[in-house]
């Protein structure tokens, strides 16, 4: 009778272990499931079609569909152009929240970091080379428009690894994200607003020469 009781307890423990293993396995499938890829109309597409569209159209970019995960990706427009009527209000809020000086009669240049992702946490460039390139960009921007760029982040995770964190500030109340950046775009994005409210927002990975060219175009418009 005693042996039978011990055998029953052992079987119960074994079943419990298998149940936990299955639960953990199912959890792993949820947390590490395969990514889904979508076109601009939210249709699921294959990986080959996804990257073919990006390679064949330089005006396109991509974004993480949900800010909560880094799984599903969607093809999106690479940039947006328009005009805002409330530039003065944006400048006023940024000046108050960030405690910085911003000229109302000059372009506004903002570099936006959405948080750590595979794009901005990879690459061979060192922190030293990035800081040097950043300073070179700032010098050229000042020569071009007599302004300094504003560096904003949503979350600063991973930012200090390859950047001078002292130059970056948190996007106040998500102001810039809510107005100009609908998704989490890979690496980072930038925004240039002319003195009269014309703007261009670039979604995803960019280089400093693009910001300078955009600033020059809008500054002369």
For the chain, the domains span 11-77, 79-219
- pLDDT surpassing 90 at residue 26: no
Nearest-5° Cα angle at 205, 163 to 160: 15
Q: Decide if pLDDT at 20 tops 60.
A: no
Average pLDDT value for residue range 213-218: 97
Instruction: List, for residues 177-189, the tens digit of each pLDDT value.
Output: 999 999 999 999 9
Give the torsion sign (CA, 102, 107, 108, 112).
Answer: negative
Q: Identify the pLDDT of residue 7.
A: 37
Q: Which of 48, 47, 44, 46 is nearest to 65 (CA)?
A: 44
The per-residue pLDDT for range 164-180, each reduced to its tens digit, is 999 999 999 999 999 99
The residue with greater pLDDT, 202 or 3, is 202
What's the whole-number average pLDDT of the chain? 85
Q: Is the pLDDT of residue 104 over 50?
A: yes
Residue 194 CA to residue 215 CA, distance in Å, equals: 8
Per-residue confidence band for 30, with pLDDT thresholds at 50, 70 and 90: very low
pLDDT of residue 35: 81
β partners of residue 170: 153
DSSP 204: S
Choose the CATH number for 79-219 among 3.40.720, 3.40.30, 3.40.50, 1.10.10: 3.40.30
pTM: 0.82
């Amino acid at each position: 009778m005693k042996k039978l009781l011990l055998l029953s307890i052992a079987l119960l423990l074994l079943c419990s272990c298998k149940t936990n293993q299955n639960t953990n396995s199912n959890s792993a499938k949820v947390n590490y499931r395969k990514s889904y890829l979508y076109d601009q109309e939210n249709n699921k597409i294959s990986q080959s079609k996804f990257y073919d569209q990006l390679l064949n159209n330089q005006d396109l970019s991509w974004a993480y569909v949900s800010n909560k995960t880094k799984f599903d990706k969607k093809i999106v427009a690479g940039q947006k152009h328009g005009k805002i009527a409330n530039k003065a209000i944006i400048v006023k809020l940024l000046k108050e929240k960030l405690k910085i000086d911003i000229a109302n009669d000059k372009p506004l240049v903002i570099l936006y970091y959405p948080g750590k992702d595979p794009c901005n946490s990879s690459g061979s460039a060192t922190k030293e080379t990035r800081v040097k390139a950043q300073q070179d960009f700032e010098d050229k921007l000042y020569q071009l428009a007599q302004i300094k760029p504003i560096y904003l982040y949503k979350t600063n995770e991973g930012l200090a690894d390859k950047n001078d964190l002292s130059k970056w500030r948190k996007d106040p109340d998500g102001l810039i994200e809510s107005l100009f950046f609908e998704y989490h775009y890979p690496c980072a994005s930038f925004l240039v607003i002319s003195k009269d409210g014309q703007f261009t927002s670039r979604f995803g990975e960019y280089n400093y020469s693009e910001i300078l060219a955009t600033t020059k175009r809008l500054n002369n418009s």
